[in-house]
Amino acid sequence: MTGFKKGIVAAAAICLLALTGTAIYAGGSSESKSEETYEMVVANVLTGSHTHSMALAHFAERCDELTDGRLELTVHNDGVLGAERVVMEQVQLGSTEFTRTSAAVLTGIVPEIAVFGLPYLFDSVSQMYEALDGDLGNYFKDKLEKEGLLVLGWFDYGARSVIAKEPVRSPDDLVGKRIRVQESPLDVKTFKAFGAAPVPLPWPDQYPALDSGVIDATENSPDTLYDGRFHEVVKYLSLTEHFIQPTVLYVSKIVFERFPKDIQDAVRQAGKDAVAFVQEHQADRIEERLESLQDEGAIIVEDVNKDAFRAKAVSVYDEFLSEHAELKPFIDEIRK
Ligand code: MLT
């Protein structure tokens, strides 16, 4: 063999070795690669003092502990990495690794996850967790995984209610009112059925829209409304409690599949620990935030005619089920 040919063979062998090494690593079974370290990010639109943000901090800590420091996560709060829909797309591509978003933004890739925009679907947070820990949760985990998102856990933030310039005791009080809703077609339909003029907007656009009077109202859980500081510009928080919806903690599937098995296990465990954190703290936090809202000038309206809202919701269920008949067994099970 000439020196030139020997050189080519040696170069090919080095390339093969490199490729083989990469393949073993991607398969996640290489002991020799298990000392690899990772620095990654978690994107979040809420401020650092929201329960979900604290749960993300806990998630990052647990990833650190469970991997002996090999997976280091930095949580970026306040939407600095973009609004939720943008971040969700980044996570699909693997350019942002982890996030927590509302289920509503996921309707862009799994339309039927809009189901959580059915008003009064769940009577309680525990009923929601029961459904998500069972067949309904698995159904959406599979759908989201096919779209490149791996669900690590579902968070609750209690029931969502309307905050507005004026009290909202019945659907009549919403007629013609421009209310910000999440970017989910079913949230829009629900508020149309309630008589309002819904305006889907990303989370960060609400405060300026309320402040300038472009919209009259928004809706969310007390913890999240407080986080958004909306009570600085609209005072009446009416406890309509129309939605109990999950938010979702997920990781990019592309990224997850590159982790060795021990890191994958740690990430899944840390996800469970983050959910347990939310379940331990969220209910108390809602009570605290209701008090803080009042201390800071909000007026809580408790005498809401929920039956009148429920009556308006019937057509929303009918239309949703005509479009997504496959979800009927789940809805029947929840509402039996
Ligand atoms: C929203 O209203 O956009 C969501 O509640 C925000 C979130 O939970 O991240």
Q: Is residue 31 part of a domain?
A: no
pLDDT over 90 for what percent of the chain? 89
Q: Is residue 142 part of a domain?
A: yes
Helix (H, G, I), strand (E, B) or coil at 75: strand
* pLDDT tier at 303, thresholds 50, 70, 90: very high
Token reading at 47: 């401020």
CA angle 263, 147, 183 (to 5 degrees): 115
Give the dihedral of Cα atoms 207, 302, 190, 179; nearest 10 deg: -20
Average pLDDT, the chain: 91
What is the count of structural domains for the chain?
1
* pLDDT tier at 17, thresholds 50, 70, 90: very low
Token reading at 40: 């990654």
Ligand 1: distance of its center to the CA of 224 in Å?
7
Read off the CATH number of the domain in which 185 is found: 3.40.190.170
Residue 35 is predicted with a pLDDT of 84
Q: Is residue 78 part of a domain?
A: yes
Ligand 1: distance of its center to the CA of 10 in Å?
56
Ligand 1: distance of its center to the CA of 9 in Å?
57
* pLDDT tier at 34, thresholds 50, 70, 90: low
How are the residues of the chain apportioned to helix, strand and coil, as percentages rounded to the nearest 5? 55, 20, 25
For 210-234, what is each residue's pLDDT tens digit?
Answer: 999 999 999 999 999 999 999 999 9
Whether 53 lines ligand 1, by a CB cut-off of 6 Å, is no
Residue 5 has pLDDT above 80, yes or no: no
Q: Is residue 29 part of a domain?
A: no
Cβ atoms of 46 and 223 closer than 8 Å = no
Whether 102 lines ligand 1, by a CB cut-off of 6 Å, is yes
Look up the domain containing 285 and give its range: 3-23+37-335
Residue 330 is predicted with a pLDDT of 96
Residue identified by tokens 């759908």 is 143
Residue 154 is predicted with a pLDDT of 98
Ligand 1: distance of its center to the CA of 174 in Å?
21
d(CA 268, CA 261): 11
Q: Is residue 83 part of a domain?
A: yes
Single-letter residue type at 263: I
